[in-house]
């Protein structure tokens, strides 16, 4: 679903979430339809989501290890 077809409030939400960065951003970048400022903003935003999910994964993994109890050999 193209982001341009969404209502304004949904476009604002979708532009913050990482999902538009997986399809829309690469396609627009390859087509050359992004301004330099938009490209840099999207690229930085993509790295911010990568770092956020990596930190979240590390926190959840360490919590899981603390709560894990094994039994058996």
What is the pTM (predicted TM-score) of this model? 0.74
Return the structure tokens found at 35.
């301004």
Q: What is the pLDDT of residue 68?
A: 87
What percent of the chain has pLDDT above 90? 47
Residue 29 class from Cβ within 10 Å (0-12 exposed, 13-18 middle, 19+ buried)? Answer: middle
Q: What is the pLDDT of residue 40?
A: 92
* CA of residue 41 relative to chain centroid, distance: 13
Return the structure tokens found at 57.
């994964």
């Amino acid at each position: 679903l193209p982001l341009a077809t969404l209502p304004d409030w949904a476009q604002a939400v979708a532009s913050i979430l990482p999902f538009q960065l997986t399809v829309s951003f690469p396609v627009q970048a390859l087509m050359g339809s992004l301004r330099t400022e938009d490209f840099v903003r999207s690229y930085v935003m993509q790295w911010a989501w990568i770092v956020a999910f990596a930190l979240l994964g590390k926190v959840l993994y360490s919590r899981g290890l603390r709560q894990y109890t094994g039994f058996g050999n």
